[in-house]
Amino acid sequence: MGQIALEGMEFFAFHGYYDEEQKIGNKYGVDLYITTDLHAAGASDRLHETVNYEILYRVVREEMLAPARLLEHLGYRVIDRVMEEFPYIESVQVSVSKFNPPLGGICHRARVTLDRQRSTD
Nearest in space to 9 (alpha carbons), one of 68, 73, 69, 74: 74
Helix (H, G, I), strand (E, B) or coil at 105: coil
* Active site (annotated) includes residue 98: yes
H or E, element range at 112: strand 109-117
Helix (H, G, I), strand (E, B) or coil at 35: strand
Among the listed residues 63, 68, 98, 101, the single catalytic one is 98
Helix (H, G, I), strand (E, B) or coil at 81: helix
Q: Are 89 and 105 in contact (CB under 8 A)?
A: no
Catalytic residues: 98
